[in-house]
Amino acid sequence: MKLSQLPHWLRDTMLRMFPHRAPTGIVRVGNPGRNSPVLVTGNFTLTIRRLINVLSGHDAWLLCANSKGINVWCAAGGGHLTHHDVISVVRTSRIGEQVDHRELVLPQLCATGVERRKIAEVTGWSARWGPARLEDLPGFLGRRLHVIKGERFVRFPLWERMEMAFMWSWGLVAVAGLVAWAIDSWAVGLCAVAVIVSIVGGIFAALPWLVVTGPRRWLTFGGFAAGGFGVGVGVLAALGSATSAHLWLAAGAASVATAVLSTDLAGTTPWYGSYINTFHNEAHVDLVEERCTGAAECVQVCPRDVLAMNGYRRKVEVKRPEQCIQCGACIVQCPEDALRFRYDDGRIVEAATIRRTRMNMVGRRTVELPEQ
C-alpha cells in the first residue's frame, strides 16, 4: 500500500462494517472496448475502489449490481445480493449495447446467493466464475478468463485478520477509553484500551486455531477473557495504579465486553448458538452420487477445496470434508440437487431449503431441521 493511500485505507477499514453504497451500473476501467470482459461486482464502495486499483493497466467493464452497499460475500450470503440483482443491472445498465459478446464474469464468493443458471435463463447472458479474491483478477484476465486451482481457495491471512481486528476494536477502544478516562483518570483509559486491543488482536491472530464448537469452546472464551483481564491488570500495575477500585472495574468490564463481542464473531460465545442450525447439531455436506452428473460446478465455487472431480468416474467426490465451512455455495449451484447437508443425527436439509435460507452475521445459516 502506498503512503498516499493510507488515509483511504484507514477510513474504509474503520467504516467497513457499515454498508457504503456506490451507484449501481457500469464503471469503465481503462479504455474498454466491445470485446472487453464484463466483471460483475456489488455496489460496495470499498470493493469498487480496490477493483479499479487492482485492474489498473487492464481494460474492462465493471457491472455494479445492487448489493445494498455490502461486500459481495456477506451480501450474497445474507440475501442482499441475488441473481435478481444481477439480472436487473444487466437490463437497466444496457451493458449489451456496449459489447459484442454475452458473457459475464461473476465473483466466486457470490455463489452462496447468486444462482448462475437463473441469470442465463432470464437474460441470455452466460456467466462464468471468476477467482475468489480480486487480487487474482489480473492473472485471470491474462489467462483469457481461466481460474487456476489456488485462486478458488479462500484464506484469511494474518494481515487481513489484523485489518479486521482494527475494524472491530477502534469503536470499542474509543468509547471504553473515553468512559474510563472520564470516570477516573487517563491511566484507567489506557488500561481499557490495552485490554481491548490485546483481546481483539489476540483473537484475530489466533483465529485459525480457535476451538469454536463443542464443550472445549469454553476454553477459547475463558482464555481470552482471562488474558484480557491480565493485560489490564498488568498495565495498571506498571502505572502504579492497581489500588483503585475504578481501575479494577474498568479492566474487568472491558475484558468481559470485548470477549463477548469479539469471540462471538467466531461463533464461540458459549451462550449464543451461532451455528448452522438452531440445534447445535453439526452439519456435513453430503453427496447423492446417483444424482451427480459430473457438472462440477460445486468444485468451481467451493472456497475451501473440499470437493474434487473424479475424471475417471465422472463424479464429484467430497475429498476434504474437514475443511468445509458450511457456506452452502456448492449446494446452491448444483444443477442436479446432488448436494445437501446431513446432520450428525441423520436429518437432512435439501438444496431447496438451503437456497431459501440466509446467513447471519457470523456466516452461519440458521436452518430449521425437519422433524425426526
Which residues contact ligand SF4 (rule: CB under 6 A)? 285, 301-304, 306-307, 324-330
The least distance separating ligand SF4 from the CB of residue 304, rounded to whole angstroms, comes to 4
| Residue showing cell 461463533 | 267
Q: Between the CA of residue 91 and those of 101, 125, 256, what are the distances in Å?
A: 15, 11, 50
Give me the least distance between CB of 103 and ligand SF4, in Å please: 23
Q: Closest distance between ligand SF4 and the C-beta of residue 320, in Å? A: 9
Q: Please, what is the angle between helix 217-238 and helix 245-263, to 10°? A: 150
Q: How far is the CB of 228 from ligand SF4 (least distance, A)?
A: 32
Nearer Cβ to ligand SF4 (269/333): 333
- The CB-of-104 to ligand SF4 minimum distance in angstroms stands at 21
Grid-cell match 468509547, residue found: 175
State the Cα–Cα distance between residues 208 and 194, nearest whole angstrom.
23
Strand-pair partners of 21: 44
Closest CB 139 distance from ligand SF4, rounded Å:
22
Choice between 198 and 333, CB closer to ligand SF4: 333
CB 13 to ligand SF4: min, Å: 26
Exposed, middle or buried, 260 (CB in 10 Å: 0-12/13-18/19+)? middle
Alpha carbon distance 143, 134 (integer Å): 15
User: Is 47 or 326 the residue whose CB approaches ligand SF4 more closely?
Assistant: 326
Nearer to ligand SF4, 173 or 296 (CB): 296
Choice between 87 and 332, CB closer to ligand SF4: 332
**Alpha-carbon distances of 263 from 71, 224, 229, 253, 358, rounded to whole Å:** 22, 8, 15, 15, 21
H or E segment to which residue 250 belongs: helix 245-263
CB atoms within 10 A of CB 287: 19
Residue 87 Cα to chain centre, angstroms: 23
Q: Between 326 and 353, whose beta carbon lies closer to ligand SF4?
A: 326
Q: What are phi and psi of 105, to 5 degrees?
A: -110, 120
89 or 338: CB nearest ligand SF4: 338
